Amino acid sequence: MLTILPKTVQHVFIQPRASCQRCYQICRYATWPWSDTSSKPTTWNKAVSDAEKIVGYPTSFMSLRCLLSDEISNVALLMRKLVGTRHPLLKTARGLVVDGKYNIQTRGLLVLLISKSAGAAQNVSHNLSDPDIVDGIHKSQRTLAEITEMVYTANLIHKGVINLSALTPEDGPAQDMEFGNKMAVLSGDFLLASACTGLAELNNTKVVENISLAIGNLMESEFTDLRDKDGKPVLPSSVKFDDWLQQTFLASGSLLARGCQSAMELCGYDNHVLQAAFTFGENMAYAHQMQEDLKPFLKPEEHLQELTLTSAPVIKYLENNKTAQQTLIENMNFEKIVTLVKESPAVAECEQLCIEYGQKAKAALNVFPTSDAQNALVNIVNATAVS
């Protein structure tokens, strides 16, 4: 699959990180990009690769069409200049083609799965006559899944624009960084514009409105009290758990909830189903973020460095101990923070919340009849919320 990427794209994205041979293998076995370096598949990997079989193809190359466009290969060509610099765009771009933690294209997969779950509820014999429905998923729903990924990726790229005034000598020449910014702005804009055109072609103004709101929310998530001007997590005084909920909704819940809801809208479901799809997406996002936030506390030996000050357990801890904030911020040592928070009930509370979000997500799926697709969604929720 990778071999059909333009030479320039291959060169820039892949060469610095891994041999093409390796990528090729990963692609062939279709577990990419969730495959860990360890050979033993995790519950998550299995849930996802099973799900991919149900929707008909690996979803990892969802934005491939965009990557193949003239504009993006032009950027790729110019981006060779960035190799060796510290501009975040390089990391993001590499993540799009090579496996890495940036490449969890689950949004699109979830949109496809929920579409198929809903489709199973409709009259099957009627569907068979519609050539736009393949594997129980309507063409427009597949486009929507792609758009969801494009919007997410565009945001990822634009979040990587750096403030030139914040540069330090270690960042290398300012010119390189300025150039990197230029490329980031252009490629992010290109993805957003493609998403807009794709949305227009869906011929449904409610879906356009819903996804546009999600784009707005993604931007708002960078302008909250939990983020500084360079996008780094910061703790405001008297932080509440509601702040975490709001941050998570804006940064990931909104897009997933609205994406799932729009997939239902495209096939003309009633409000009851639209609401259930929204609830599923929203709670799935909370559960996923909670799982990520808990990792440094549950497995500090592997994930300590992933700790952020605005992770749920820290915020929960501070909400319970209002006076502790000063001490915590002064003690920026990750190990100390983990120890401190672990001694409190915060971690257990967060684990409980994670399970509850999972339950809410699964409950929402009850509007659909049992099917392979619905079962795959339940497995993904279980892999997220119960670990």
Partner 1 sequence: MASVSSRLQSELLKCCRFRQSLKKCLSMNINIIQTRRLASFQNGFTADILQRNPLLVCVCGNKIQSREVRLFSDSALSDNIGRRGDNPASVSPFGLVEPELDELCSNIKQKLTPQNKELADITQYYFDGKGKAFRPMLVMLMAKAINVHMKKSASLLESQKEVSMIAEMIHTASLIHDDVIDASDTRRGKPTVDTLWGQRKAILAGDYILSVASVAIAKIRNEEVVYILARVIEDLVRGEFMQLGSKEDENARFNHYLKKTFKKTASLIANTCKAVAVLAECPDDVVEIAFQYGRNIGVAFQLIDDLLDFTSCDHVMGKPTAADLRLGLATAPVLFATNHHPELNSMIMRRFSMEGDVERARKMVANSNGVEQTRVLAEEHSKEAMYQLSHLAPSVFRESLGNVANAVLTRTK
Binding positions for partner 1, rule: CB under 8 A: 70-71, 74, 78, 154-155, 158-159, 161-166, 178, 181-182, 184-186, 188-190, 192-194, 196-197, 199-201, 203-206, 208-209, 212-213, 215-216, 218-220, 222-224, 229-231
CB of 189 to partner 1, least distance (A): 5
DSSP 227: B
Alpha helices (H) along the chain: 7-14, 20-28, 43-55, 64-67, 70-79, 88-97, 106-119, 124-128, 139-159, 174-201, 205-220, 241-248, 254-266, 271-298, 300-303, 312-320, 325-330, 334-343, 346-364, 372-385
CB of 339 to partner 1, least distance (A): 34
Nearer to partner 1, 164 or 363 (CB): 164
CB of 129 to partner 1, least distance (A): 24
Cβ-contact 252, 288 below 8 angstroms: yes
Nearer to partner 1, 20 or 78 (CB): 78
Nearer to partner 1, 201 or 335 (CB): 201
For residue 20, how many other CB atoms are within 10 A of its CB? 15
List strand residue ranges (DSSP E) for 130-248, in order.
133-134, 137-138
Nearer to partner 1, 220 or 372 (CB): 220
Nearer to partner 1, 216 or 369 (CB): 216
Cβ-contact 380, 110 below 8 angstroms: yes
What angle do the packed helices 271-298 and 312-320 form, to 10 degrees? 80
CB of 206 to partner 1, least distance (A): 7
Nearer to partner 1, 220 or 356 (CB): 220
- Cis amide linkage into residue 313, ω under 30° from 0: no
CB of 185 to partner 1, least distance (A): 6
What angle do the packed helices 254-266 and 106-119 form, to 10 degrees? 30
Cβ-contact 90, 79 below 8 angstroms: yes
CB of 177 to partner 1, least distance (A): 9
CB of 193 to partner 1, least distance (A): 4
Nearer to partner 1, 74 or 375 (CB): 74
